[in-house]
Chain A
Amino acid sequence: MRAATFALRHELIGLAGVVERNVYLTKRYIWWDVAWFIWTVANTLTITFIAKGIEASGGIIDVNRATTSLLVGAVIWAYLGVVFEFLTETVAWERWEGTIEYTFMAPLSRAMHLGGSGVFAVLYGLIRAVLLFFVVAAFFDLSMPNADFFAALVVLVVASVSFFGIGMMMAVLPLISPEKGAQLGYVAQGLMLVCSGVYYPVDVLPGWMQAIATVSPATYALEGIRGAILDGQSLGAVWPDIWPLLIIGAACIPLGLWVFHRGELYAKRHGKLKRSG
């Protein structure tokens, strides 16, 4: 019992160490993060202006509702980008700095090592997503009188478990391909969102893409958050979106760890940990 408690304490200290390191690095690069946030705001505006553009070109549309719906899609896109980026950087950044061998030879389970990156990514991503949402909403002076922001936040947090699991699968790519692996995270992000109704209802997609949408956590995240913000759905009302997220999350975490473990074995067999850059 004492040994198990000691081992758990050790693991949690290691997890906290990864969070602590990411806090240090974020502080060191804070102005780069501000610049990156400005880019994200600009990118989000290019998407949310589409609703006004449709109206200006004669389309009949509820601009407030359409802009809010597009904004939710853009915020989820940006959030997913941050989570995947931090997780793939778990390997890519350490490889670039040359510290990866020291981290991989430390007596810490990979679950806690990746978990530390995941916890920080989710916290950082949530703060950024909330800021992005309200900055752009203020820009358009969007009216959301019925919005249940608490329910929306809960959906996003629950969805983050699945995003974390998929992010772990992405994190293994820089181990396999040091040069191009990290970029493949963006491919996964795009493929997942295109099938999940990021800026449109899933119903408009071809049948095979709709089939993929049923197992994509982003589908339920987008539906739940839109329901909470646009229609004021409470936590109980978005439950049909939450329970699939719980099931997908429960599958994604062990699958993500297994995929990463396989990738780590491959890297250790072929000497891929050593190469920098």
Chain B
Amino acid sequence: MSQTAELMTNEAVPAAVDGVPAVEVVELHKDFWRRNKDRGRLGRRGRRRVAAIRGVSFAMARGETVAILGQNGSGKSTLVRLLSTLLLPDGGEARIFGYDVSSQARPVRRMVNRVSVEASFFKKMSAAENLAYAARFYGMMPGETKRAIPEILGRVGFPADRRHESMENLSRGMQQKVALARALLTSPVLLLLDEPTTGLDPRSKLEVQDFIRQLQSSHDSTILLCTHDLAEAEALADRVGILDRGRLLALEPADDLKRRYGASTLEEAFFAATGRAFEEEGDEDDDRDVYA
């Protein structure tokens, strides 16, 4: 067990009961209100409900990696936000190791962490200061973070001697490594990766993917990976899901998915499942994009 993992004692992390699914989502539903593009008779623009997540159900076993594929606006990030207690569902339920994300948010938060497409930090603060700030919320004292931060940065391939530089001076790839370090510093048992490699140069992308592989082999984490990258999904995940316009159309091992749709690639399987090409986006998707 790594030093970082040791820092987070069993006392800190709520017990994850054996036999209980790591993630259990049942008929989950989330709507948002959107203003109409056209104005009504009195010149006012009305509002309508747009379903971001529609009746999604699935379960994940402890230690499993699941990739969710979907276009912009398909609901991937909404799903991640619902699981990380940042949104309240309008219907259905989601449980993390048996804890309900709405009514038992506190233990859920202790077990979950997330890396999103935007590596969001206080730009004037250094990587070490940002990580220390995040770690305090999880009960880590200065003495603990002083030891753990260089170690975790080393694990994600971030040069330790740059940890005192302002975030604004770091490349996008470097920032994303710090984002991974932030998520891992708290030893989450469920890691939500929301397009963690989008926008990275090929080398940084490979480094992040290698790190996810290391995590799978050495860390007791369950990983939900939302991605645009079909090859990434196939290479990293035990099962691949297709989320389209808020509906989860399939969730199977990549080979089963291809077999089911008679496809030779995941891209073809995606096309067969959704009726459109992976990069193709219609008006409705554009409309849904703000909820991506």
Most buried by B among A13, A18, A270: A13
Kindly state whether residue A181 has any CB partner on chain B within 8 Å: no
Known: A106-B109, A268-B86. A97 touches B134 (CB 8 A): no
Flag whether B129 is at the interface (Cβ < 8 A). Answer: yes
Chain B residues, CB < 8 A from A258: none
Q: A17 to B135, alpha carbons, bound, how many Å?
A: 8
Do B138 and A106 have beta carbons less than 8 Å apart?
Answer: yes
CB contacts (< 8 Å) of B135 on chain A: these are: 17
* Residues 78-94 (chain B) with a chain A CB within 8 angstroms: 78, 81, 84-88
Q: Distance (Å) between the CB of A125 and the closest chain B CB?
A: 21
Of the candidates A3, A102, A103, the one having the most CB atoms from chain B within 10 angstroms of its own CB is A102
> For chain B residues 109-141, which have a beta carbon within 8 Å of chain A?
109-110, 112-114, 116, 118, 120-125, 129, 132-141
Kindly identify, within residues 82 to 108 of chain A, every residue whose CB is under 8 Å from any CB belonging to chain B. Answer: 97-99, 101-108
- For the residues of A in contact with B, the DSSP-based class is helix
Given A98-B120, A101-B86, A107:B137 Cβ within 8 A:
yes
User: Is residue A6 within 8 Å, beta carbon to beta carbon, of the partner chain?
Assistant: yes
CA–CA, A24 and B132, complex, Å: 11
Tell yes or no: B215 within 8 A of A by CB.
no
A42 within 8 A of B: no
Question: What residues of chain A lie closer than 8 Å to B114, measured between beta carbons?
Answer: 101-102, 105
Taken together as a complex, chains A and B put the C-alpha atoms of A29 and B125 apart, in Å, by 11
Q: Say whether A16 faces chain B, with CB atoms less than 8 Å apart.
A: yes
Q: Indicate if A265 sits at the interface (CB-CB under 8 A).
A: yes
B118 CB contacts on chain A under 8 angstroms: 98
Interface status of B291 (Cβ within 8 A of chain A): yes
Enumerate chain B residues within 8 angstroms of A3, measured Cβ to Cβ: 11
Tell me the complex Cα distance, A102–B84, Å: 9
B62 within 8 A of A: no
CB pair A99 B137 closer than 8 Å: no
Q: Which residues of A contact B45 (CB under 8 A)?
A: none
* A105 and B86 within 8 A (CB): yes
- List residues of chain B with CB within 8 A of the CB of A265: 88
The residue that A28 contacts in the complex, of B11, B125, B182, with Cβ under 8 A, is B125
A102 touches B109 (CB 8 A): no
A20, B121: Cα distance in complex, Å: 15
Contact of B291 with A106 in the complex, beta carbons under 8 Å:
no
- Name which residue of chain A comes closest to B102, CB basis: A268
Q: Are A102 and B134 in contact (CB under 8 A)?
A: yes
**CB–CB B132/A97 < 8 A:** no
Smallest CB–CB gap between B75 and chain A, Å?
12
Complex: A271 Cα to B77 Cα, angstroms = 11
Give Cα A105–Cα B121 distance, bound, in whole angstroms.
Answer: 15
The 0/1 profile, CB within 8 Å of A marked 1, for residues 211-250 of chain B is: 0000000000000000000000000000000000000000
Task: Select from chain B the residue with minimum beta-carbon distance to A274.
Answer: B81
Query: In this assembly, does B12 line the interface, its C-beta being within 8 Å of a C-beta of chain A?
Result: yes
Whether B137 pairs with A106 at a CB distance below 8 angstroms is yes
| Interface contact A269-B88, CB-CB below 8 Å | yes
Residue of B nearest to A14 (CB): B137
In the complex, B35 has a CB within 8 A of chain A: no
Q: Are B136 and A20 in contact (CB under 8 A)?
A: yes
Q: Using Cβ atoms and an 8 Å threshold, which residues of chain A touch B81? A: 101, 271, 273-274
Residues in A whose Cβ lies below 8 Å from that of B132: 17, 20
Residues in B whose Cβ lies below 8 Å from that of A24:
122, 125, 129, 133
Instruction: Tell me which residues from 53 to 111 in chain A have a Cβ below 8 Å from any Cβ of chain B.
Output: 97-99, 101-108
Jot down 27 A-B pairs with beta carbons below 8 A, ordered by A. A13-B140, A14-B137, A14-B139, A17-B132, A17-B137, A20-B133, A21-B122, A21-B125, A21-B129, A24-B125, A25-B125, A28-B125, A29-B124, A97-B122, A97-B123, A98-B118, A98-B120, A98-B121, A101-B86, A101-B116, A102-B120, A102-B182, A105-B84, A268-B87, A268-B88, A270-B33, A271-B87
